[in-house]
Structure 1
Amino acid sequence: MTQETPGLDLGAYRRWYDAERPGEIEGELSASLIAGGRSNLTYAVTDGQREWIVRRPPLGHVQATAHDMGREYTAMSALADTAVPVPRMFAHCTDPDVIGAEFYVMSRVDGAAYRSKDELAALGPERTSAIAQHMVEVLAALHAVDPAAVGLGEFGRPEGFLERQVRRWGRQLEGSKTQERPRAEELHRLLTERLPEDDPSVRGIVHGDYRLDNCLVGSDDRVHAVVDWEMATLGDTRTDLALLLVYDRLSEIAGGDVVSDVARAPGYPSADEQLARYAEASGRDLGDMGWHLGLAYFKLAVILEGIHYRFLQGQTVGEGFDRIGQGFDTIIDAGHDALRKG
């Protein structure tokens, strides 16, 4: 039984899983780290007959409110019988002594997590358009779910959500700064001063990190599973839509492939087209999105700063971390522009 995968002791994992689901594992276990993860660590585990996916927090420095395995497990378990496609949940371990951190186990879903324009370009503009449109439709379907009806009525506190978001991401920045960030602190101040009033009509389940490479897309160009629910909660659903649009602009404003450049693929819909598709699918009046876009830029910059912090501390596993800190200032500048135009 190999023990070469960082962060996952297969011997300890098997003893725990055998107690949770006796007889399910039949052969010797092996595991591999699935490439591309820049936050939680995701492993493919197999006994040669069947396969499981194991998710755990990153190694080393972890913010207290981030990387919540229980939150991911609860969200996907609750959404199993809704129109939102999610993997099947098998088991959740809250004891950090088993492998060194809390973790959960889910089914493997066949599908591609598209991260680059080249991957989509190979499919052609028509398929790219279909994939992106379905991604937006799935987001609208998520926001249409009644939290109480699926057991998520206590999953978050939608009242005061935006104020808490601004406060939380300000704290996150303070906890993971790699250098002084005065422009970011100024954006945080402006977001605080211009906080919108709560709007009950747009409350719902918020994914918190919705983008194409957090969707597993099948050969039919449909989203087969939405993954990476560590920041899911109840709140203003416009924050999901704003973050999706900001992710799509990231490669343009920050350069390179720091997260994804899928929006540059031929056939990928523009921001206006995505907003129109979401409005049609959801039936919601989105109103002015400027403030929400400003918050999304701030949040994304802070997330990247936190990942960069762990890289500099030698506490990450995976590829591409040497570039993750690029573009912080230009992302913050784009947040100022969005807030000013809004």
Structure 2
Amino acid sequence: MSPADPPGLDLSRLRAHLDEQAPGLVEGALTAEVVEGGRSNLTYIVGDGTSRWVVRRPPLGHVLPTAHDMSREHKVITALRPTKVPVPETITLCQDTDVIGAPFYVMEFVAGTPYRSADELAALGPERTKAIAGSLIDTLGDLHEIDPASVGLADFGHPEGFLERQLRRWKKQLDSSRSRDIEGIDGLHERLASALPASGAPAIVHGDYRLDNVLVDGEDRITAVLDWEMSTLGDPLTDLALMVAYAERGRINLDIVSNVSAAPGYPGTDEVIARYAERSGRDLSALDWYVGFAFFKLAVILEGIYYRFTHGQTVGAGFEQIGDAVGPLVALGNETLKDG
């Protein structure tokens, strides 16, 4: 690799691959920058001085291909391209690890802003903020309306038993990160396990749907939904509930999580739910369970980060306080289920 190459991306090998797979696409010498954010997979913006593209690959040092499956991301984005859900156009998928050292795919660069804070939205004013949030909700409804089989995604997941598997997975994750007593978390899990709702019609689930995982243009339209690494077929209400939980987390002082719902003009939880219900036509009578589960998941995720931080396995700004948010998230989950 050249000293000018970013970590994990050999630009000369990438250029040779693109010249072979998409002749004439690249005109000049390639440059690249790493995009901050994202759950774990690495994102680069690559350009030749005239055009730009996006490259996605697994994290550095990655050794378990099934955990960061580039082909799954590529497949769902490619499948959704003809639908109402805005996604980038995919260009090539490479599963030959000899090219850059890991599987990767290339897609078009889409202009837009990923709004991450209430301050960013406040600068736009309440009317624009409301319009952006409305587009976010409507796009989620559009995603869940798609018949997976109609876009070639009938085999993209196993919706049967989805909620049971999800709850089991996150309990296992919690158990692997236990280093202290967390008041109420076992009770929250027991409440969730004893009241599993019956899922409605399965849909394509994004898995981490929120405002900073989409791009918004200057006319407040969503230009692309990004970060599909957790997508599958399953119960779509898990997407809606996670949006609600992220919004309700505004009651907790947690700087490392997006607080866009605190911006003037952002719709309240009841309005978000009502708009989604109207758009999707789905039965939301059991939504409290899903929101309680979303709080459980967030608590487990943060406890895992706290565990790794206290064991010297990760570093980052704000991680020293992250453990303080776990208890309040658990309390919100129990409160949601008691009130439901």
Measured after TM superposition, the shift of residue 36 of structure 1 is: 2.9
| Residue 179 (structure 1) aligns with | 179
| Residue 250 (structure 1) aligns with | 249
Question: Is 1:298 equivalent to 2:296 in the alignment?
Answer: yes
The DSSP-based 3-state class of the residue aligned with 2:163 is helix
Instruction: Return the match for 1:332 from 320, 330, 339.
Output: 330
Gaps of 5+ in 1: none
Q: Matched residues in 1 for 2:47 and 2:314: separation?
A: 26
Residues 197 and 286 in structure 2, CA contact (< 8 A), matched pair in contact too: no
Would the alpha carbon gap of residues 224 and 323 (structure 1) be closer, same or farther in structure 2, given more than 3 Å must change?
Answer: farther
Whichever residue aligns with residue 53 of structure 1, its letter is V
Deviates more, 1:24-33 or 1:323-332: 323-332
Q: Matched residues in 1 for 2:25 and 2:115: separation?
A: 31
Would the alpha carbon gap of residues 127 and 19 (structure 1) be closer, same or farther in structure 2, given more than 3 Å must change?
Answer: same
| Residue 151 (structure 1) aligns with | 152
Question: Is 1:218 equivalent to 2:234 in the alignment?
Answer: no
| Residue 162 (structure 1) aligns with | 163
Question: Is 1:269 equivalent to 2:299 in the alignment?
Answer: no
**Higher relative contact order, chain-length normalized (CA < 8 Å, sep 6+):** 1
Q: Matched residues in 2 for 1:308 and 1:101: separation?
A: 29
The DSSP-based 3-state class of the residue aligned with 1:327 is helix
Measured after TM superposition, the shift of residue 167 of structure 1 is: 1.4
Would the alpha carbon gap of residues 81 and 59 (structure 1) be closer, same or farther in structure 2, given more than 3 Å must change?
Answer: same
Measured after TM superposition, the shift of residue 305 of structure 1 is: 4.2
Whichever residue aligns with residue 139 of structure 1, its letter is L
Q: Matched residues in 1 for 2:178 and 2:6: separation?
A: 28
The DSSP-based 3-state class of the residue aligned with 2:113 is coil
Measured after TM superposition, the shift of residue 17 of structure 1 is: 3.0
Q: Matched residues in 1 for 2:88 and 2:313: separation?
A: 31
Q: Matched residues in 1 for 2:48 and 2:332: separation?
A: 48
Per-residue CA distance 1:74-109 (angstroms, 9 max, x = gap): 111101011111111111222344334332211111
Measured after TM superposition, the shift of residue 172 of structure 1 is: 3.0
| Residue 37 (structure 2) aligns with | 36
Q: Residues 229-248 of structure 1 correspond to what in structure 2 (within 5 A)?
A: 229-248=228-247
TM-score w.r.t. length of structure 2:
0.89
Would the alpha carbon gap of residues 17 and 274 (structure 1) be closer, same or farther in structure 2, given more than 3 Å must change?
Answer: same
Measured after TM superposition, the shift of residue 259 of structure 1 is: 1.7
Identity %: 54
Q: Matched residues in 1 for 2:32 and 2:314: separation?
A: 20
| Residue 117 (structure 2) aligns with | 116
Measured after TM superposition, the shift of residue 247 of structure 1 is: 1.1
Would the alpha carbon gap of residues 301 and 58 (structure 1) be closer, same or farther in structure 2, given more than 3 Å must change?
Answer: farther
Gaps of 5+ in 2: none
> What is the aligned length?
337
Residues 52 and 105 in structure 1, CA contact (< 8 A), matched pair in contact too: yes
Deviates more, 1:107-116 or 1:183-192: 183-192
Deviates more, 1:322-331 or 1:50-59: 322-331
Deviates more, 1:146-155 or 1:190-199: 190-199
Deviates more, 1:184-193 or 1:56-65: 56-65
Residues 251 and 258 in structure 1, CA contact (< 8 A), matched pair in contact too: no
Would the alpha carbon gap of residues 196 and 111 (structure 1) be closer, same or farther in structure 2, given more than 3 Å must change?
Answer: same
Q: Residues 9-158 of structure 1 correspond to what in structure 2 (within 5 A)?
A: 9-60=10-61, 66-158=67-159
Measured after TM superposition, the shift of residue 63 of structure 1 is: 7.6
Q: Matched residues in 2 for 1:179 and 1:16: separation?
A: 46
Q: Matched residues in 2 for 1:315 and 1:19: separation?
A: 39
Q: Matched residues in 2 for 1:245 and 1:133: separation?
A: 14
Whichever residue aligns with residue 248 of structure 1, its letter is A
TM-score w.r.t. length of structure 1:
0.89
Per-residue CA distance 1:222-262 (angstroms, 9 max, x = gap): 11111111111111111110001111122322x13222010
Would the alpha carbon gap of residues 165 and 25 (structure 1) be closer, same or farther in structure 2, given more than 3 Å must change?
Answer: same
Residues 255 and 318 in structure 2, CA contact (< 8 A), matched pair in contact too: no
